[in-house]
Amino acid sequence: MHFDEPLNLHDDFQGAVRSVQAAVLYLSELNKTVLAMHLFLTYRSGLMNRNLTRGVRQEGNQLVYTNRLSLTFHRQLVETVTEWNQLIELLRSKKPEANADNLLSSKLCSWVLEETVKFCNHLKVILVDSHSVSFYSMACAIERIHVHSNHVTKLIGIDLRSTLDNSLLKSLQGAAEEQLRVYKDALELRASVCYALVVLKATFICFFHDILICQ
C-alpha cells in the first residue's frame, strides 16, 4: 500500500491539471479567455501555498529549511510558467482569432511578482520575526535565494531579484535596527549597573570610614 502512495499522488496531481485545463478550454470557448487563465493562476496559487506550507519538511537547521523552501518556490514558478505557455499554445490552436497576448502576459507577470512577495513574507516570519536566526545565517540564506532567483529569471524572463530585494530589505533593516536597540539597551543597562556598583562601593567605603573615625 505504501508503495502505491507516490503513484496515487502523482495521478491525483495529473487529474487536477487535466481538470483545470478542461475548465480553461471551456471558458475560452465562451470567449472568457482572461477569466480562464485567472482560474489557472488561482489554482497554481493554491498549489504553491500547499507545497510551501505542507510540502517542505522543517528538518535540520534554518539554512537547510529555507534552501528547500526556495527550491520549491522557484521550481513551482518554472512549472507554472511552463504550463501557462502550454495552455496559451493550446488556446491559440483552438481559437487562433483570439488575441489577448499582452493582457495575458501582464497577468502572468503580476502573478509571479505577487507570489514572490508572498514568499518573501513567509521568509520574513522564519528569518526575522522568529528572532532565532543570526544575521550571518540570514545573509547566507538570502544569498542562496538570490542564486535561485537569478537562474529562474533567465528561464522565465521575469525579474525576481528586484522584488526579492525590495521585499526583504525593509525587513532586514528593521531587524538590524531592532538588534541595535537591544544591544544599546544592554550596554546602557550594563553602564547603569556599573555606575550603581561604583556608587554602592563608594557608599560602603564612606560608611566604614565613618565607623573607623567614630571608633
**For position 35, what pLDDT does the model report?**
83
Measured CA to CA, the distance from residue 181 to residue 177 in angstroms comes to 6
Query: Exposed, middle or buried: residue 119 (CB in 10 Å: 0-12, 13-18, 19+)?
Result: buried
Measured CA to CA, the distance from residue 28 to residue 49 in angstroms comes to 26
Measured CA to CA, the distance from residue 48 to residue 50 in angstroms comes to 5
Give the global pTM.
0.71
Query: Using an 8 Å Cβ cutoff, are 116 and 158 in contact?
Result: no
Residues 6+ away with beta carbon under 8 Å from 189: none
Secondary structure (3-state) at 140: helix
**For position 116, what pLDDT does the model report?**
93
Domain ranges for the chain: 9-213
Supply angle C-alpha 104, 110, 115, rounded to 5. Answer: 130
pLDDT tens per residue across all 215 residues of the chain: 343 444 344 445 555 667 777 777 777 777 777 888 888 899 899 999 999 888 787 776 778 888 899 999 999 999 999 989 888 888 777 765 556 667 788 889 999 999 999 998 888 888 776 667 777 777 788 888 889 999 999 999 888 888 888 877 776 666 666 666 766 666 666 666 565 556 555 554 554 445 445 55
Secondary structure (3-state) at 61: coil
**For position 80, what pLDDT does the model report?**
93
